[in-house]
Structure 1
Amino acid sequence: MADDRLDIVIFGATGYTGKYVVKDAVHLCKENKLRFGVAGRRKEALEAVIKEFASDIDDIPIIVADIKDEESLTKMTKQAKIIINCCGPYRFYGEPIIKACIATRTHHVDVSGEPQYMEKMQLEYNKAAQEAGIYIVSACGFDSIPADLGIIFTQQTFGGEINTIETYLKLWTTGNVKGSLLNYGTWESAVYGMAHMNELRALRTKLYPTKLPKFTPKLKSKILHRSDVSEGWSTLFMGADRSVALRTQRFMYDKYKERPVQVQTYITFQSLFSFMMIAIAGMIFALMTRTAFGRNLLLKYPALFSYGFVSHESPKRETHEQARFSITFKALGWTEKSAEPTDKHTDPPNKKVITKVSGINGYEITSIALILSAITILKEADKIPDNGGVLTPGAAFGKTSMIEQLNKHNIKFEVISSTEK
């Protein structure tokens, strides 16, 4: 790529997530001696973001680009080595940026948590990205860096061969929360994601025409249960983490002939009452996404259907500063690896390892992880496979220093325990 390009351009810098990214880019880019610019539809709004979050940096380039203007996207991507795309929902706004990045040979990272979008982009643009020599990596935020790289970390530290990993997400706050917790854009993505879940089966059939070997013991899902590694009541987590993790495991099998891990994701609630309230809201949400009328109601009245967790007003930053998360990973497997990845163990698993990823609020993690993803592509491309392609975070960053860098920025990866029978 041309040396006169900016290292990073943040597209959608005036949005809720984009502002976080600009704020954190100030010190992360300074630490790594990188130049960044901002891009969006309105110059005045971009100037206001710079004034609020990056006033101590001189001459941050401003690029005016509109998702509906192909020429402006091409001009924008020509000026960057990598685009940080904060403009979602990606189902509607992601593909034109990817097309422009391929045309101008510009790397691309985003924070999509939309499985249909991500898998469609892999199906349609992986070969083109490889030919262009660029990396396109989605899910580089809270969805799904902690979960996907947490599984990679668990595999790297297990010391044997893993059969299954169950992940347990816990969310809590350190004080009294007032106002909404989630950005409206996240809610909008969830509404359309749920509405189009039926697209996934056909997409995956095309994306992976050959099936993985079947492994034993088979991991069985548990709808509602109490886990020995996560205090409270746990149920299936319907976010993008499992989708992303399974794509990573498939990549590792196809690329490196590593035995893929069976994965199931859960979320833990402190009380049965909390679970019941969320379950009722979830059922109403799922039913309403099936019709255009129901989707319009969800989008028009988010506070009503989310118990106030989402509204049209952006969450207050002080609210997010009180938020915390952890994901606990329960890995079962064997102390010895099999000779071939398709070999089956005849004895039951004899080793259990518990690991954890924990840190600050999801939006701060999203911002830091997204920028570190971009920096890693710029600085460690020699450790990322295939010289280009549409990859998951685990596939792209599993052999880089990404986990080490996240640890340095208050996203902690640790081994809790390791036991053998």
Structure 2
Amino acid sequence: MADKAANPTSARAYDIVVFGATGFTGKLTAEYLVQSKEAGKLKIAIAGRNAPKLEACKQALLALNPKISIDLLRADSSDFTSLVEMAGKSKVVITTVGPYLKYGEALVEACIETGTHYVDLTGEPEFVEGLEHDYQAEAEAKKVKIINSCGFDSIPHDLGALYTVHALNKELGEQSAGKLPVKVEGFVQARGTFSGGTWHSAITQFSRFREYQKKRKSWKKAKKSIPTDRRRSRVMKPSVKYCKPYQAWACPLPTIDPQVVKRTAASRKEFGPDFEYGHYVLVKQLPKLVGGIIGAGGLVALSQFKFSRDKLLKIKDPGQGPSAETRAKSWFKVNFIGEANGLHVWTQVSGGDPGYDETAKMLAESALSLAFDKSLPKCYGIVTPGSGIGVALIDRLQKAGIEFQTL
């Protein structure tokens, strides 16, 4: 089932506001929007707290598309009134301002208050799970879609799993589709650099591991959670294994992506009554895999102490990023194996630079879908790309050059 308009926002001044457009990924997202197929009808504003930087960003965007009109809005994460004013003027707010644990919640609250859809790039489980427990009921009641993880975290994995399940159900036929237990495994390969914002978010999340676990216990005890009428969906227990089809070692990848896929599966009938997902990174050489595990463990350990944590945060600035030439050499592939009743399907999602160019594309297309697409799932609250937008976003991304294919 679908709805034509989640909120009475047709009279608002803007279709999309980009909050954080002066940052590296925010600027790439704004550049994508002003050159998109919908740019001719797009009413857009960029927002932030630094007026000179906003003006410089506007002039750079106008150089790409002189015909588009771009307004500037002042907004600050520490000024809730400014966030409410900004959100109330738009159908959708994009935010690239992280770490989201530090800067994200106030904007989510402002969007819910004003009935405005929201998309972000977060890969921070504590932030997303906190929103689910604290804001799900209110956002759902107002028919607002708060959609986290709309970049490389976690669209290729979330929509890739959805695409795989659809391909599997097509082979199963109408009588069995959506009625059998389903298992999907995703295997990630990529070449590229991650953003300064992603680095800061990761170090922040590592440093808060104990606090996060305490929160999870309190949330479970309070039973303030997502709706209880969801289908059974779970993440596979982590284990390293050799994967013959890819001639590589598969190591469980401890990102937010499995949790996002799990939430999408729990909310959509086509995933069946019992769904299981496994998420891995492929590494060709065992020594490299061992080195990666040791390195990740070292980062977690160093992030527990303020002195070493501050040193780590200085390695990458949140606003910095690689050159266009470097990004052009980057790529990603996520291979999926779907299984139900002894039947297997193999699919793949692939694209260019995962950390910046494709992430900006995914984020922008998510917002464009919320602003313009007329038939989206009736799923509101703190939702995922797969549950809040779904197939419409797969179609958009395919047209934009991100490939979804059955192998």
Relative to the length of structure 2, the TM-score reads 0.86
- 1:98-155 deviations in whole A, cap 9, x for unaligned? 1111122111111111111111112111111122222110111110000000001111
Task: Give distance in 1, aligned partners of 2:51 and 2:402.
Answer: 34
In 1, the alpha carbon distance for the partners of 2:118 and 2:246 equals 36
Aligned ranges 1:223-372 → 2 under 5 Å: 223=240, 225-252=241-268, 258-301=272-315, 313-334=320-341, 350-362=342-354, 363-372=356-365
Instruction: Report matched runs for 1:13-92 at 5 Å.
Output: 13-28=21-36, 30-31=38-39, 33-55=41-63, 56-57=65-66, 58-92=68-102
3-state SS, counterpart of residue 355 of structure 1: strand
In the alignment, is the contact (CA less than 8 A) between 1:142 and 1:366 conserved in 2? yes
Instruction: Give the counterpart letter for 2:353 in structure 1.
Output: N
Q: Distance in 2 between matches of 1:125 and 1:88?
A: 19
3-state SS, counterpart of residue 299 of structure 2: helix
Distance of aligned partners of 1:121 and 1:288 in 2 relative to their CA distance in 1, 3 Å threshold: same
The 3 A distance-change label for structure 1 pair 215 and 405 is closer
Cα distance, 1:414 vs. partner? 0.7
Segments of 5+ residues of structure 2 without an aligned counterpart are: 1-8, 173-179
Q: Which amino acid aligns with 2:110?
A: A
The number of residue pairs the alignment matches comes to 381
Contact persistence 1:29–1:35 (CA under 8 A): no
Amino acid of the residue matched to residue 182 of structure 2? N
- Following superposition, the deviation at residue 162 of structure 1 comes to 4.9
Deviations 1:354-384 (A, max 9, x none): 1110001111111111111112112335422
| Structure 1 residue 172 displacement after superposition | 2.6
Matched, 1:195 2:207: yes
- In 1, Cα distance between the equivalents of 2:319 and 2:34? 28
- Paired amino acid for 2:279: T
Distance, in Å, in 2 between the alignment partners of 1:215 and 1:209 is 13
Secondary structure at 2:336 match in 1? strand
The residue number in structure 1 matching 2:3 is none
Q: Which residue of 2 aligns with 1:342?
A: none
Q: Which moved more, 1:57-66 or 1:404-413?
A: 57-66
What TM-score results when the alignment is normalised by the length of structure 1? 0.83
Q: Distance in 2 between matches of 1:379 and 1:9?
A: 14
Q: Give the match for residue 376 of structure 1.
A: 369
Q: Structure 1 residues 394, 2: CA separation in 2 closer, same or farther (over 3 Å shift)?
A: closer
Mapped contact 2:231–2:267 kept (Cα < 8 A)? no
